[in-house]
Amino acid sequence: MQHTATEGYHAGAVHHEQGFLKTYVFSQDHKTIGLQYMMTALLFLFFGFTLMLLMRWQLAYPGKAIPGEAFALTPGVLGLAALLIGVVSKRKLAALVGVVFLGIAALVWYLVSDETLFPEGVMVPELYNSFGAMHGTIMVFLGVVPLAVGAFGNYVVPLQVGAPDMAFPKLNMASYWSYFFGGVVMLSSFFLPGGAANSGWTSYPPLANIATVGQTVWLFGMVLLITSSLLGSVNFIVTIVQLRANGLTFMRLPFFVWAQFVTSFLLLLAFPPLEAAGILQLMDRLAGTSFFLPSGLVISGQQLGVSGGGSPLLWQHLFWFLAHPEVYVLILPAMGIVAEVIANNTRKPLWGYKSIVYATIFLGFMSFIVWAHHMFMTGMGTVISTFFQTTTMIISIPSVIILTALVISLYGGSIRFTVPMLFALAFLPMFGIGGLTGLPLGLAPTDIHLHDTYYVIGHFHYVVAPGTIFALFAGLYYWYPKVTGRMMSERLGRIHFWGSFVCMNGIFFPMLIQGLAGVSRRLYDGGAQYSHAQGVLQWNEVMSISAFALAVFQVPFLINFFWSIKKGKKVESDNPWDATTLEWQTPTPPPHGNFTSLPEVFRGPYEYSMPGSSRDFTPQNVR
Amino acid sequence: MQIPFTVAARPDTGLHNAKLGVWLFLASEVMLFGALFSSYILLRVAAPEWPHGSALLNVPLATVNTIILISSSVTMVMSWASLMLKDFSKYRRYMGLTILCGLLFLVVKGFEYGAKFSHGILPSEDLFYATYFTLTGLHGLHVVGGIIVNFYFWGPGSRMWKTEPQRFTNRVEVAGLYWHFVDLVWIFLFPTLYLL
């Protein structure tokens, strides 16, 4: 990493050469923290995906021995290769990633070769449950959100607002390490007696209250993750409000900053109720209270020896009060990235910038009063259901406004089909499918049929996987040259894109078909025991093969990602995409303190192809 | 490199960074305790019967504790005001009093808990005691956190007064905002648990 001695723009600031630990491990620089978040989150995404691959084997071939060697060997070989490359060419990062991949391989091997977990090579149902719970937890809380907010937010937001760093660098570091230890706690729970949490990522009581000790550790892990996101969100909001450059008014902020701003408010205000719920569940599990346990609960024919009087429904209310805004935490930063990439690659201003911003703010408010549409089946009453299905229909309007504005932005543009643009373009229809399939779930009458079926799984995976994760890939390819000073390979990027695009649909579209046929989620055998599922069972194999192929198509990405750090095509300027926003007006990579001179902003974020201008883009800091 | 507006207020927002930060943090704390109070209401209205707090808990002791905590909020403001008047020794005295009040609150709380424990009453007794111990326990943890922060600004952290007096004054103000919030939570907890 290039480490120039360029000072921040404050006179008298002296750059101290710091040791390895302070520069790379306990760094307070928002860019390094962003990269730490990125590497950690990518590894967790890979691990969560591996859990799902093991589950998909069981779903496609229930009762057949798992080829454990293949599952352990793939990350093993990748890890060994990275480690060798790292040792031979003395690249610490590659070696570190190699070690982590070997660790994943060892963990998979440890699990697969355990006779109690995989008797005769077949996963036991308890392990399947635990993998399901941990896949959800890891993907949402340790993978996608840290990548979208922790990594991209940390790296890009201070640059886009023209700040030398985040407002509270020490809190920023604390936020990362709290996240890291939360992740370690979650992973360690796999080695506990009874395994990791196995009550689903939603942890519904009373099941979660009487589950094995893994659930307690899950709750402690969540407390650390909530702390991390609390510290992060305070930091983001203060940075955006206080550290904007001169002339950068709120309506001149890039949409990505707006998305992170609203997201931070959601994290700040929606997570504490889950923390409260977590505290209550911890009390139930450790101190013997019964906040979530009703009176007279009988388990395995035995009366549970607690005072009772609690309400399992209370947990669901508290949980979904977080988890519905969490859906928008997952999607808003993705929309922000897509907006940046689309404006840059259509070479036109974003269509309806103000409408998008107002829609996002409205969406943020509304997301706090739709949570009970996850609970139509709990018998909470038709009046409440009517209220929540009405608000749910209302919240679909701002989402449609944002998506429509992004689609109209394409009209009349001379589009550059770069790799980030391919991912951003694919985001639009994929998120569209995810959003439209959500409407029948938001209406109580149709939800009665679809609730807890594979249709739900298909719906939210369309939003998060080919939706958000595609947008995150777009962001990775888009900002990579700013971080490394080199471009990623276009050819490998295209292979990665088209392979992932086809496979994602191969995985998730059949889920909608199975769900409409009434196949429930969380079934250990993928529905084989039910007569009504027989007509759609053949899709299980299609989905699993697509999932394995999706894993294969991530290999070009991994190669591209590491190979391009040293061998990619060098960028010719600090602004290789001819972009307008402030992050491209810094040196490449941005030094400690970011800007060489105090940036001042004179115009909106997307002034592409302005009449009378000599070039087809006018950066924000051009007078 | 220096972060702008760590000491001086940004002209268009009128705030320095830490002040906005602590208000946001308090907003999230409101959501935390708000969720717990909501849970309390939900559980109570669903219960066939709910004991009257004053019949089970020690109201006089809690009243004394309320007075102690409110006084500590007053001394906290005085300590900040002393810094604004550039009177550091007075600041030390008032901050010391604030810390003592906080500790006293915990001691009284400890006696209350001890009286329950010695009669074999634990959180698992019933839903009333479960909410009582959970809510007051979490509040107690917040008091402990506040005492630690205040102690830091009373002792080692106060060296900043010599180098950056304005920044130190800001820090005490921000710590005060948190301390008032902890006080406020108790002012809601006291009637909810003891009197209603």
Which residues form the domain of A546? 29-64+122-294+306-585
- A181 has a pLDDT exceeding 80: yes
Determine the 3-state secondary structure of B167 from DSSP.
helix
Number of H helices, E strands in chain A: 20, 2
In chain B, where the domains are located: 56-195
C-alpha to C-alpha distance for A408 and B160, rounded to whole angstroms: 56
Q: What CATH code is carried by the domain that includes residue A467?
A: 1.20.210.10
A491: in domain: yes
What pLDDT digit, counting tens, does each position of A522-546 carry? 999 999 999 999 999 999 999 999 9
- Specify which residues A302 forms β-bridges with: A299
Backbone phi, psi, residue A622, to 5° = -90, 130
pLDDT of res. A107: 83
Return the percentage of chain A with pLDDT > 90, whole number. 80
Nearest to A289 among B33, B47, B123 (CB): B123
pLDDT level of residue A566 (50, 70, 90 thresholds)? confident
Q: Which CATH class is domain B56-195?
A: mainly alpha
User: What is the model's pTM?
Assistant: 0.94
A614: in domain: no
- A4 has a pLDDT exceeding 80: no
pLDDT level of residue A380 (50, 70, 90 thresholds)? confident
Q: What is the mean pLDDT of chain A?
A: 92
Question: Given CB atoms, is A295 within the 8 Å cutoff of chain B?
Answer: no
Rounded to an integer, the average pLDDT of B143-156 is: 97
A381: in domain: yes
Q: Which residues of A touch B28 (CB under 8 A)?
A: 230, 233-234, 268-269, 271-272
Least CA distance to A317: which residue of chain B? B39
Q: How many CB pairs below 8 A link A and B? A: 135
Which of B5, B20, B25, B28 to mutate to test binding with chain A, by most A CBs within 10 Å of its CB?
B28
Left if phi > 0, otherwise alpha if psi is -120 to 50, otherwise beta: which for B191?
Answer: alpha
The structural domain count of chain A equals: 1
Lowest mean pLDDT among A308-312, A507-511, B169-173: A308-312
Check B35 against A13: CB less than 8 A apart.
Answer: no
pLDDT of res. A13: 41
pLDDT of res. B1: 73
- A321 has a pLDDT exceeding 50: yes
Check A167 against B21: CB less than 8 A apart.
Answer: yes
pLDDT of res. A17: 61
Q: Which residues of B touch A13 (CB under 8 A)?
A: 1-2
Least CA distance to B125: which residue of chain A? A307
A60: in domain: yes
In the structure encoding, which two tokens stand for residue A519, read together?
């196949």
**Rg of chain A (C-alpha set):** 24
- A14 has a pLDDT exceeding 50: no
C-alpha to C-alpha distance for A406 and A89, rounded to whole angstroms: 44
A620: in domain: no
Nearest chain A Cα distance for residue B47, angstroms:
7
pLDDT level of residue A16 (50, 70, 90 thresholds)? low
Nearest chain A Cα distance for residue B134, angstroms:
8
- A6 has a pLDDT exceeding 60: no
- Helix H segments across A437-582? 439-442, 444-450, 454-463, 470-484, 490-516, 539-567
**Separation in Å, CA A520 to CA A450, A454, A459, B140:** 9, 6, 14, 45
Nearest chain B Cα distance for residue A153, angstroms:
17
- Specify which residues A486 forms β-bridges with: A570
What pLDDT digit, counting tens, does each position of A404-458 carry? 999 999 999 999 999 999 999 999 999 999 999 999 999 999 999 999 999 999 9
**Separation in Å, CA A24 to CA A18, A322, A332:** 10, 33, 29
pLDDT of res. A121: 87
Nearest chain A Cα distance for residue B35, angstroms:
5
- A92 has a pLDDT exceeding 90: no
Q: Which residues of B touch A289 (CB under 8 A)?
A: 123-124, 127, 130, 134
Question: Given CB atoms, is A252 within the 8 Å cutoff of chain B?
Answer: no
Please, which residues have CB within 8 angstroms of residue A423's CB and are 6 or more apart in sequence? A341, A470, A471, A473, A474, A477, A497
Nearest to A269 among B31, B124, B130 (CB): B31
pLDDT level of residue A116 (50, 70, 90 thresholds)? confident
Lowest mean pLDDT among A147-151, A196-200, A298-302, B88-92: A298-302
What pLDDT digit, counting tens, does each position of B104-133 carry? 999 999 999 999 999 999 999 999 999 999
Question: Given CB atoms, is A27 within the 8 Å cutoff of chain B?
Answer: no
Signed CA dihedral, A545, A551, A555, A561: sign only: positive
What pLDDT digit, counting tens, does each position of B64-90 carry? 999 999 999 999 999 999 999 999 999
- A151 has a pLDDT exceeding 50: yes
A604: in domain: no
- Please give the ipTM for the structure prediction: 0.96
Contact A341, A480 (CB under 8 A): no
A222: in domain: yes
Nearest to B1 among A7, A241, A268 (CB): A7
Check A169 against B36: CB less than 8 A apart.
Answer: no
What pLDDT digit, counting tens, does each position of A337-347 carry? 999 999 999 99
